[in-house]
Copies of this chain bind each other. A is one copy, B any other.
Amino acid sequence: MAADFLAACRGQPVERTPVWFMRQAGRCLPEYRALRRRHPMLEIVRTADLAAEVTLQPVRRLGVDAAVLYSDIVVPLAGIGIGLRLEAGTGPVIDEPFRSATDLRRLRRLEPDEDVPFVGEAIRLLVKELDVPLIGFCGGPFTLASYLVEGGPSKSFTRVKELMLGDPATWAALAGALADLAVTSLRAQVEAGAAAVQVFDSWAGALTPGDYRRYVLPAARRIFTALGDLGVPRVHFGVGTGELLGLMASAGPDVVGVDWRVPLDEARRRVGPAVAVQGNLDPARCLAPWPVVAEGADEVLARNGGRPGHVFNLGWGVQPRTDPGVLARLVDHVHEVSPPLNRAFAAGEAPHG
């Protein structure tokens, strides 16, 4: 049901638990890989009809309840002139990493129509085609800062933490500028037709709760507050954020995304009753035999116990070797299994009330 995704984000009752997959548009689909043989990633992102086509591929094939724009969280950075490239299998690589306060000058305000016109164009194409909501997205402050400062993906995040802990004033200015970038980007995506937004602060889980609260939460709060008037559901997500779920919920999103490490009932306890949850099947589980996949999905649904405010998803992006047939079957399975649970909750008979 096209309406279920938005309703679930808002904590309202749904007919069937809605499903989408992070990175549903991408390497697990043969039609995407065929396109990628002809076009580099950033070229697809920057060509509205190609980006729209890739965004539509999983909607056609998988039966998901939402589309997610094919793009990358570093696209707005490239848009304001930060030199970078997307390396397949690695991630974003920044030509000249940020190392001091003077680098802040390189962050100017995003002008969506001039800097990333293809984003709005792709969204406008998509809303004409889609019969499910389109999710727009951006990177969160810590995650974008980590790419800028580390120069690319990191295992230890030592350089970005060095800046954060050693020069809090520069850090605050950087995080604030990245929050503004996020707001400008997301507002433009919603104005073009996105019906929901997700902030990927994917790597925030590398921080202690104390450091997250002090150095990242203010910028995260700024983002969600500045989007409030748009009236679209706002999702806040990171991996490995078990200890941060309550703080991430306090930033003001409608939905908190949960990876696979925290059981969903415990995640709900941490985010509190006012915020919906999204997740939380281990993406690697989708490579296992079907009964194991189904068992995992059933556990996620049982731990939610039919409560309103659950969007089914993986705990992180679809793994490239995933069989899209399994994902399609998973969508059907969640749709088939969840109505009785959802009805039981409505009738006050939830197995995990």
Query: Interface on A for B, CB 8 Å cutoff?
Result: 156-158, 161-162, 165-166, 205, 207-211, 240, 242-243, 260-263, 266, 282-285, 287-289, 292, 299, 319, 321
Contact = CB atoms under 8 A, between A and B. Distances in A.
* Residue of A158, A243, A292 with highest tally of chain B CB at under 10 A: A158
Contact of A156 (B166, B209, B283, B292): B283
A228 B262 CA distance: 31
A260 to B, nearest CB: 5
B288 A261 contact: no
Contacts of A284: 156-158, 161-162, 165
B319 A156 contact: yes
A262 B240 CA distance: 11
Contacts of A161: 282, 284-285, 287-288
A209 B299 CA distance: 12
A220 B211 CA distance: 32
A208 B261 contact: yes
A330 to B, nearest CB: 15
Contacts of A210: 263, 299
A321 B154 CA distance: 15
A260 B287 CA distance: 31
22 contacts: A156-B319, A157-B284, A158-B284, A161-B285, A161-B287, A162-B284, A162-B288, A165-B285, A165-B287, A165-B288, A165-B292, A207-B261, A208-B263, A209-B261, A209-B263, A210-B263, A210-B299, A242-B243, A242-B261, A243-B261, A243-B262, A243-B266
B240 A240 contact: yes
A165 B263 CA distance: 18
A266 B321 CA distance: 37
A243 B71 CA distance: 32
A250 to B, nearest CB: 16
A246 to B, nearest CB: 12
Contact of A205 (B261, B263, B288): B261
Contacts of A165: 284-285, 287-289, 292
Nearest to A286: B158
A287 B240 CA distance: 22
Given A263-B243, A287-B158, A166 B292 contact: yes
Given A166-B292, A292-B166, A299-B210, A261 B285 contact: no
A289 B288 CA distance: 47
Residue among A261, A266, A287, A321 with the highest chain B CB neighbour number at 10 A? A261
A208 B296 CA distance: 10
A287 B149 CA distance: 15
Contact of A166 (B207, B243, B289): B289
A211 B315 CA distance: 15
Contacts of A157: 284
Nearest to A293: B165
Contacts of A162: 284, 287-288
